[in-house]
Structure 1
Amino acid sequence: DGVEDDAMIQHAQVFGKPRTPDGRVLERALSARSSKSGKAYREVVKLIIRPPRAEYDVKKLGPTPFTYVRRFRGGKQTVMRTEFAVVNQRQDVELKCSQWKPVGAHLHELPCVLYLHGNASCRLEALQVLKVVLELGCTLCCVDMAGSGLSEGEFVSLGHFEKFDAEAVLHELRSGGRSNGKVALWGRSMGAATALMCTAKLDPLVSCVIADSAFASLPMLVHDLLDEKVGSVLVDACVEINQCVGCS
């Protein structure tokens, strides 16, 4: 456990510099590790940057092809799913992706919705919106972000690094002929925050954003989730590490 804990702390450190030039913020946060509450502190760190990974078989994404009855347009529609991967160049990790399109349609002729899952989740979450997106005449793409699902990576950052995952997939959807150039982002929780950060900081060409349950402040989110479990002092220490990460 000690080796794993060190790896988590090192991960937090490489995200960015401490908020004070002499490093006092990071040192104060790390001091909690050696205190009597060190175990509780490590558990909080795990909840934030290494939640349980969603493990699944890709077959759970459903059969391909499959046919469904269209609710609004009438008639039946047969849909194919294709699998592909992209590399987040910033972290050099491979990200697993899926895309659904109507049989007979050409990807480069249709707009696409890129779905971004929440924390401790995966591509399976996108199945909830699949038929809605298809009914709109779009294809649906989803990705296991780094550290989640079947993609590479060990840690998550609640949107800070995930925005680069979204950027990598957006690039493939446009330059790889997987859309007509019009791509929307649909995210939930961590995915919603990722969508907003990606659009604001990296890709202003995103057609629109659906942000379901995004959080406006990481420190407030962490306090809401963990204050009662471990106490505000330990939560503050973990928030300070995430502020070094650049998530706040």
Structure 2
Amino acid sequence: MWSMIKEGYEGLVMTVIRPLRAQYTIEDLGPKHALINDVVTHRVDLQLKNPGGYTLECSWWKPKTTEKDAKLPCIVILHGNSSCRLGGLEIVTHAIPAGFSVFALDFAGSGLSQGKYVSLGYHEQSDIATVVEYLRNSEETSSICLWGRSMGAVAALMYAQNDPQINAMVLDSPFSSLPRLATELVDEGKLGVPKIAVKLVMRLIRRDIKNRAKFDMFKLKPIAKVNKCTIPAFFVAGNQDELVGPHHVSALYKLHNGPNQLFSFQGGHNSPRPNDFFVQATQFLRVMIGLMPLHLEMCPSAVSPKKKPLKVFKNPLPQGESLDSIPGMSVKQLKEAIDRVGYGDVSCIEKQDLVDLVLKLYARHLRTSQQYSEDDLEISPRTSSLTSSPTGSAGAAKDPATGSSDSKCSTAKSPIARSQSHGNIDVSS
């Protein structure tokens, strides 16, 4: 029985503070210059230091306007606990045409940023503060909105309670209380812990998280202060959410003390969000910041006169799954995802290498399926995942950036890594 208890509590601890980390390269974000639904856009990649001294990897998508030194409203994308900047690409494709610039970051402990642990919203508040301060000092923004998912939504809600100058928020699947959520996961048997041991397990989890990640999970209760929040909020709940039940979102929505809206959809925690969600959420933000209607004029000279048709890459994920579900897939499911797009035979030893490759393939599908014109950039796993024969023979596949090869993963063919070009545009910086 003790072994079951230990396994269950260790599993939940790692789910909270050290889920499988999304790894990718900056090229997976797409080209720095692109047409996003006919809006000329430039992406700036930058680094910021949070109060803990960790470097945060960030990207800022800026639509080009006809007005010099124009200030635009900015949406800050805040990802979930096992996600990264890539998860915000779909938001970018809806927000840019609506007249927003979009800023995305990898929280400390996530993606390419420094840091060992995440905290489901507790320490992430300081990362948001770092970004917001940078944006306000840039003098390029007219207003700032937060768009968070899961952990990012909790971080947004808790941060906003101390910063009334935030203009509006989209809160996708936030939990109302971490102790309650953890108790539900244990009590419902999802971690294989006997019900008689729930209280013991909760004490162990609290102690372990406090020692490792330096925060008290019992203090992570957005519901305790949401009634003091007056910032407009668009709440989102999946009716079949198996992780954060819709009752969490409903409770926050009912106690929230500002203009709000509740959007429900048929799907789970990691399900792809319906198009109607992006439309309504973007509309809500526009109305709340007083920019309705908004017409963003494009600079005619910045648009390529020879716009080529887009090439849409296949979705490697089965129906009903999204980027956030990739880290939780089994090795078999990951290989099926790779095979689904015809990438070729892949024999990887490390699960992380498979996760990285599927994440890259899905990111490319997401970009090209959202009217995101770009060059046909080559997709390849990380240097450590690239491959060759075990002996490193002459047939080894090489990293195009370093020319090095690795013996972890062998690919028989790669129809995605081709030199065909599509959707090129000529945009000056």
TM-score, scaled relative to structure 1? 0.76
Contact 1:110–1:137, Cα closer than 8 Å, also in 2:
yes
Tell me the equivalent position of 1:209.
169
* Aligned counterpart for 1:198 among listed residues 147, 159, 180: 159
**1:55 maps to 2:10:** no
Point out where structure 2 has 5 or more consecutive residues left out of the alignment.
210-214, 222-429
Which residue does the alignment assign to 2:146? 185
Letter in 2 for 1:187: G
User: Partner of 2:138 in structure 1?
Assistant: 176
Give 2:283's aligned residue: none
What is the aligned partner in structure 2 of residue 68 from structure 1?
36
Structure 1 stretch displaced more, 48-57 or 97-106: 97-106
Give the structure 2 partner of residue 131 of structure 1: 93
Instruction: Name the SS of the counterpart of 2:216 in structure 1.
Output: helix
* Bigger RCO (CA 8 Å, 6+ sep): 1
The answer to whether residue 64 in structure 2 is matched with residue 92 in structure 1 is no
Q: In the alignment, which of 190, 194, 202 is matched to residue 236 of structure 1?
A: 202
Q: Report % sequence identity.
A: 36
**Structure 1: distance between partners of 2:11 and 2:100:** 41
User: Does the 8 Å contact 2:9/2:204 carry over to 1?
Assistant: yes
The one-letter code sitting in structure 1 at the alignment partner of 2:159 is: C
For 1:209, the aligned partner's letter is M
How far apart are the structure 2 equivalents of 1:238 and 1:109? 49
Cα 1:119–1:64, aligned 2, differ >3 Å: closer, same or farther? same
1:123 shift after superposition: 0.4
Task: Give the structure with higher Rg (CA).
Answer: 2
Whether 1:155 aligns to 2:128 is no
Task: Report how many aligned residue pairs link the two structures.
Answer: 205
1:244 aligned partner, one-letter code: D
CA separation in 2, counterparts of 1:44 and 1:81? 37
Offset, 1:235: 4.2
Match of 2:179 among 216, 219, 228: 219
Indicate the residue corresponding to 2:76 in structure 1. Answer: 114
Tell me the SS of whatever aligns to 1:149.
Answer: coil
Q: In structure 2, do the counterparts of structure 1 residues 85 and 237 end up closer, same or farther at CA, with 3 Å as the change threshold?
A: same
Distance (Å, rounded) in 2 between the aligned partners of 1:128 and 1:238: 39
Name the residue aligned to 1:45.
Answer: 13
* Deviation at residue 226 of structure 1 after TM alignment: 4.1
Instruction: Name whichever structure is richer in helix by fraction.
Output: 1
Deviations 1:88-127 (A, max 9, x none): 11x1111111010113566761110001001110000110
Preserved CA contact (<8 Å) 2:109 2:116: yes
107-116 vs 148-157, which moves further:
107-116
1:113–1:141 CA contact under 8 A, matched in 2? yes
Amino acid aligned to 1:240: R
Contact 1:222 1:239 in 2 (8 A): no
Tell me, in whole angstroms, the C-alpha distance in 2 between the residues paired with 1:244 and 1:150.
26
Amino acid at match of 2:176: A
The secondary structure found in structure 2 opposite 1:124 is: helix
Whether the aligned pair in 2 keeps the contact of 1:45 and 1:238 (CA below 8 Å) is no
CA RMSD of aligned residues (A): 2.1
Q: 2:416 maps to what in 1?
A: none
Residues 136, 235 of structure 1: alpha-carbon distance in 2 compared, 3 angstrom cutoff: farther
Q: Secondary structure at the match of 1:197?
A: helix
SS in 1 for 2:141: coil
Q: Distance in 2 between matches of 1:57 and 1:171?
A: 26
Runs of 4+ in 1 over 4 A off after TM superposition: 104-108
Residue by residue, what CA displacement relative to the aligned partner does 1:204-224 show, whole Å, maximum 9, x if unpaired?
210111111111011222233
* 1:238 Cα deviation after fit: 4.7
**Does the aligned pair in 1 maintain the 2:74–2:103 contact within 8 Å?**
yes
